[in-house]
Amino acid sequence: MNIRKVFFLLTTCASMMATQAIASIAYISNEKDNTLSLIDLDTLEVIDTVNVGQRPRGIVFNKDFSKLYICASDDDTVQVMDVASHKVINELPSGEDPEQFALHPDNQRLYISNEDDALVTVVNTDNRTVIAQIDVGVEPEGMAVSPDGKIAINTSETTSMLHWIDTETNTLIHNTKVDQRPRHVEFSKDGHQLWASAEIGGTVTVLNVDNKQVIKKLEFKIRGIHPDKIQPVGIKLTRDGRYAFIALGPANHVAVVDAKSYEIIDYLLVGRRVWHMEFSPDEKLLLTTNGISGDISVIDVDNLNVTKSIRVGRYPWGIAIRP
């Protein structure tokens, strides 16, 4: 019996080590646990939990995946984690209450939303200095930088605007009013479209980046769920331009949208209060953070169904995946 147990443990360890070496890993920030949960995308199991700063929310990798930037909102800092050792090696002067951010394609400039200060702070991640601070509306949250690096977009939740920032000059060039409480923005891979979610408005607005005009406003309807509870937050677009996935918050569903015709194809039931999402590197899987149920739902992108839920820490918020 004992020998069998030992053998079992040994083989498990060995296989875990083997998969760890090759598998993609999802990093999930647990807002109320001050930790990151690490999920192996081959086994879809939590393989590690790492302590980080207070109230971790937005997380993003640098381009070679050697560093992970973590918004530690209640510490008023962005932590820089060395991915190999899982040690926090530095902090960035993020401004107060950093919530979400986006890394410029130059791998150097980080655009950070300072929720309490109505500011966007631009930080040089190499020498850890503030390049600029830009006044935006009340409660800035969503951040995205266009694939060509020319424009950064910030959403302000209470002012309900998209703020267009010229990354050359770090000044505002345009503001677009959208529905109430815009939470997240996402560029299409070709950079011509911008998708913006309005949590309380219950809509997603698709804009033409070149002329800044609205192409389409998406509305959602799920049988048996009050329209007020359908609150879009996270948005993910597939590289091939086929699908958009929209996380609908307390409606506990992810909407699947045909990104060309803007038809809503399906609603997938996930965990409770779904906010943010990330694809596996091959885009076969989409993982969602479900804050209230404290778990991650795994969506099979080819078959458009939910295959698994994985328990993580309390109030999972952000997610980033390294290949």
Partner 1 sequence: MPFKPIQLLITFIITLIFGVAASGIAFATQKVSITYLELIVDRPPLLSNVLPEPEDSGLQGARLGTKDNNAGGRFSGQQYSLIETRSNDLSELIEQAETWYQQGHRLLLANMPGPALKQLARKFNDRDLLIFNTAAADNQLRTSDCFNNLLHTLPSRAMLTDALAQWLVAKKLKRWLLITGPRNEDLAWATSIKRAAKRYNTTVVAEKAWTFNTDLRRTAQAEVPLFTQTDEYDVVVVADELGDFGEYLLYNSWYPRPVVGTQGLTPTAWHRVVEQWGAAQLQRRFDTLAGRWMTAIDYANWAAVRSIGEAVTQLAASDNFSVSNSAAIRQLLLSDHFQLAGFKGRKLSYRPWNGQLRQPIPLIHPRALVSQSPQEGFLHPKTDLDTLGFDRPESHCRLQQAAGASL
Residues near partner 1 (CB under 8 A): 115-116, 118, 135, 137-139, 156-161, 163, 172-181, 199-202, 205, 212-214, 217, 226, 228-229, 231, 250
Q: Which helix (H) or strand (E) holds 196?
A: strand 193-198
Closer to partner 1 by CB, 91 or 116: give it. 116
Give the separation between CA 82 and CA 220, rounded to whole angstroms.
Answer: 40
201 is written with which tokens? 């408005």
Minimum distance, C-beta of residue 175 to partner 1, in the bound complex (Å): 4
- Cβ pair 249, 290 in contact under 8 A: no
Closer to partner 1 by CB, 67 or 163: give it. 163
What is the distance of C-alpha 244 from the center of its chain? Answer: 14
- Cβ pair 204, 246 in contact under 8 A: yes
Minimum distance, C-beta of residue 137 to partner 1, in the bound complex (Å): 5
Closer to partner 1 by CB, 175 or 309: give it. 175
Closer to partner 1 by CB, 200 or 222: give it. 200
Q: Which helix (H) or strand (E) holds 265?
A: strand 264-269
Minimum distance, C-beta of residue 290 to partner 1, in the bound complex (Å): 15
Minimum distance, C-beta of residue 164 to partner 1, in the bound complex (Å): 9
Minimum distance, C-beta of residue 101 to partner 1, in the bound complex (Å): 17
Closer to partner 1 by CB, 6 or 173: give it. 173
Closer to partner 1 by CB, 83 or 292: give it. 292
Q: What is the DSSP string of 105-173?
A: TTSSEEEEEETTTTEEEEEETTTTEEEEEEE-SSSEEEEEE-TTSSEEEEEETTTTEEEEEETTTTEEE
Radius of gyration of the chain (CA): 19
Minimum distance, C-beta of residue 48 to partner 1, in the bound complex (Å): 29
